[in-house]
Structure 1
Amino acid sequence: AGGAAAADKSGVTPVPRSWSRNAYRDVEIAMGAGSDSLTSLSWSPVSNHIVLGSWDQTVRAFEVGPGPRGGPTANPVVNTSLGGAVLDVEFNDDGTTVFAAVADKTVQMWNVQTGAVQQVGAHETAVRSAKWLSGHNLLATAGWDCMVHYWDTRASAPAASVAMPERIYSMSVSKVADFPL
């Protein structure tokens, strides 16, 4: 249990299944000096990478693999700083892009491979949640401005918007439903 697994054709070593079933062998992540509380976490859909959003305006990517004592460990890969507290993070389908909901009212798109960061949306107040709708190639964002916006990341304006009766504090999407929200 907890041994190293073989790499697949892409060169990615999968996390052993036993780790995901053992709630007491948590992955310990050393954040370093100056870091603040974590706000969100997203697993890559295609590799052993996680990204973490934080109050210190940073998105950090880690690779999870076998540790020295047989349990999982997370090694830092890359990070980027954004213009406000990062309230939510979400990978796209191929694991190359991370979307961030930021307290500075922006929605940011971070290419993890190149390091490029681009604003792809905005709200009137803090953006609380960002979720990728894989079957629709849209990003859904929810903010404390009582709005849900759907973004085609190639366009500057929302593809659609829905007004809600109250601020949105959390949002989830279905990966299998015809109507994901």
Structure 2
Amino acid sequence: MAPPATQFELAQPPNDAISALAFSPDSPSRLLASSWDKNVYLYDTLRNSEEGAHGTLLRTFEHRAPVLDVCFGRDGNEAFSAGMDWQVRRIDLESGEQTTLSKHAAPVRRVVYSKEHSLLISASWDSTLHVHDPTNPSLGPLAIPLPGKPHAIAASPSKLVVAMTSRLVHIYDLSALSASLSSHPDQQQQQPPQPWQQRESSLKFLTRAVAAMPSDAGYATSSIEGRVAVEWFDASAESQARKYAFKCHRTAQPQTDGGGSTATTDVVYPVNALAFHPVHGSTFASGGGDATVALWDAEAKRRMKVYQKFADSVAALAFSPDGRYLAVGVCPGFETGMEDYSGEGRTKIFVRELGENEALPKGKGK
């Protein structure tokens, strides 16, 4: 029998809400966390301290404003951050040096790195994407105007998915973005790259998270209204007929009416985070304001597992590159309506070591 899965809490978590988590592409133990406390944190999750605390905080990288997203670059020594200071920064995780790649005209909500195309893409509330070549910073970013404010982006091996306000979803071909960027320096005279596809979200409410399938087949989106949708890139009628959406991250609460009879109503929470498993590509995790994490099989359209409830809302999720570990960022959710919000003392990062078949799609188990 496989040994039971284990879960531990990292020492020295951020002092305020977690905005993103990311594992190194070449290490199952180097983990980045970005926070509203204006810092990016780098951990070694498997190196325990002398005091016996789980994990070690290797160093922090201070920013001038809250950091809204972070990702690794081409290897475990390069990272990129996006934040409320409107800037996209490259961070050398060895030296600590930070360089500004571009500056938007509003806070930068998301940043994603495509290892297949060596591109960094940032999405800002100024309703633009910036496409960067990190190996040639002098080139400057390629700016792409968007028809709405972006809230989530994700990259598959060949596509970039951008989810915006008004239920707009644009899908870009990364090869086309790379070709447009390389045609500098006269980019201002060009027509900006057009989306490969334009779609309307299957979800009726604001998109909170997007994750792309490692298989390059499609993507999942989640909303503030306790739903997740799974869609496929292939535009054929057959493939589009396979898309679906489902309710999740809801709790049933009994309510008594004036006549004394009791009925149950759903309390609906935002689904804040999505992450596909890097090995079992149809498996993905969702995390919500109901303080739970669930595993799903996208192909079989079924829930595989729900983990024990955490103390606060799940804000971020990340799988390690080998699929053995799942990092979970937990902090009070803004949906609680607290006027004087603070995640200090309640912000935590948990790392779960998955059992051998824990994330294996049901149809592939023994």
The residue identity in structure 2 corresponding to 1:43 is F
1:164 matches 2:146: yes
Aligned-partner SS, 1:130: strand
Q: How much identity, in percent, do the aligned residues show?
A: 25
Residue 26 of structure 1: how far off its partner (Å)? 3.7
Query: Whose radius of gyration is greater, 1 or 2?
Result: 2
2:68 and 2:83 in contact (8 A); partners too: yes
Aligned-partner SS, 1:170: strand
1:38 and 1:55 in contact (8 A); partners too: yes
Give the corresponding residue for 2:75: 94
Match of 2:15 among 26, 35, 60: 35
1:140 matches 2:126: no
Deviations 1:14-50 (A, max 9, x none): xxxx7xxx4xx44412336x81111111100111100
1:129 and 1:141 in contact (8 A); partners too: yes
Residue ranges of structure 2 left out of the alignment (5+ in a row): 160-172, 178-366
What's the TM-score, normalizing by structure 1? 0.77
The residue identity in structure 1 corresponding to 2:87 is T
The residue identity in structure 2 corresponding to 1:161 is A
Match of 2:108 among 113, 117, 127: 127
More helix by share: 2
Give the corresponding residue for 1:12: none
1:120 and 1:156 in contact (8 A); partners too: no
CA spacing shift, 1:26–1:164, aligned 2, 3 Å: farther
The residue identity in structure 2 corresponding to 1:169 is H
CA spacing shift, 1:164–1:26, aligned 2, 3 Å: farther
Aligned-partner SS, 2:113: strand
Give the corresponding residue for 1:50: 31
Give the corresponding residue for 2:138: 155
CA spacing shift, 1:38–1:155, aligned 2, 3 Å: same
Separation (CA, whole Å) in 1 of partners of 2:114 and 2:101: 15
Match of 1:82 among 63, 78, 85: 63
Aligned-partner SS, 1:115: coil
Give the corresponding residue for 1:60: 41
Residue ranges of structure 1 left out of the alignment (5+ in a row): 3-17
Q: Tell which deviates more after alignment, 147-156 or 79-88.
A: 147-156
Tell me the matched-pair count: 155
Residue 152 of structure 1: how far off its partner (Å)? 1.8
More strand by share: 2
1:106 and 1:122 in contact (8 A); partners too: yes
RMSD after superposition: 2.4
Give the corresponding residue for 1:9: none
